[in-house]
Amino acid sequence: MTSGNIQLLSETLAKAKAENRAALIAYLPAGFPTVDGGIAAIKAVFDGGADVVEVGLPHSDPVLDGPVIQTADDIALRGGVKIADVMRTVKEAHEATGKPVLVMTYWNPIDRYGVERFTEELAAAGGAGCILPDLPVQESAVWREHADKHGLATVFVVAPSSKDARLATITAAGSGFVYAASLMGVTGTRESVGEQAADLVRRTRATSGLPVCVGLGVSNATQAKEVAAFADGVIVGSAFVQRILDADGDEAAGLAAVRELAGELAAGVRRVS
């Protein structure tokens, strides 16, 4: 039985902590702008300094995602992206870099594909786990059983609205790290990431020893530094996607742009204590 790379994910986050910095976690959807182009973009982001990459499984109704990622998902879906392409993206990105690659997906595609089949294929591809923003913890037992069997992390999302008792329930069920949504709402770049996120990280840490990584709203090195001061990881998605959209079909320009942004953000997360 193939085993996924939850251990590699944990070691990567621990190494960043040992270096007195936050980990840089980047998000890019599979199949955007094409399957091959998406794989090249992930390699470029790793090359620029990302520690971990989340590969988005494009979905027609992405409730957590703002307009930028919705646009990318739409391009990928119109291009005919399939779950097999997502697995290939994970496999090629991990094999080329040796770094941890997760899948971020809504529950419906996994449910339709089959939990056992999905976890087995993700582990075989070298995946480190899954971020499941819309799977309620109380309905996650079957998923977690298969994920544990295949050495995959189960990353749940917590929000500023989560009460302390709810946080404890979520973190007890999760593994790998906890995804702290910095604010209420959808993904996208924001002017400020703010105090809500710091409070959420503090409350989440009180319930768990898992690393707490903050996403939603971080788009530049200044914000990355701000979040790195209190979080174990900084998650950036829309800003990377926007760079590729701005390149308007010029693949070389898009790759250069995401590599450059990763470098700026990687400098930002190397906080001075």
Please provide the DSSP assignment of 74-135 as one string. Answer: HHHHHTT--HHHHHHHHHHHHHHH---EEEE--HHHHHHH-HHHHHHHHHHTT--EEE-TT-
Q: How many whole angstroms separate alpha carbon 69 and alpha carbon 66?
A: 6
In the numeric block, the tokens 């997502």 are attached to 86
Active site residue 65: yes
Is residue 213 within 8 A of residue 25, CB to CB? The reply is yes
Exposure pattern of 132-165 as b/e (b: 16+ CB <10 Å)? bbebebeebeebbebbeebbbbbbbbbbbebeee
- In the numeric block, which tokens belong to residue 91? 């496999």
**Residue 199 one-letter amino acid:** D
Q: How many whole angstroms separate alpha carbon 155 and alpha carbon 174?
A: 6
Q: How many whole angstroms separate alpha carbon 201 and alpha carbon 208?
A: 11
What region does 176 belong to: left with phi over 0, alpha with psi -120 to 50, or beta?
Answer: left
Please work out, in degrees rounded to the nearest 5, the angle formed at the alpha carbon of residue 188 by the alpha carbons of 109 and 271. Answer: 110
Q: How many whole angstroms separate alpha carbon 26 and alpha carbon 257?
A: 14
Q: Which of 51, 65, 92, 121 is catalytic?
A: 65
Active site residue 54: yes
- In the numeric block, which tokens belong to residue 53? 């990459």
Q: Which of 54, 85, 120, 232 is catalytic?
A: 54
Which residues are identified as catalytic?
A: 54, 65
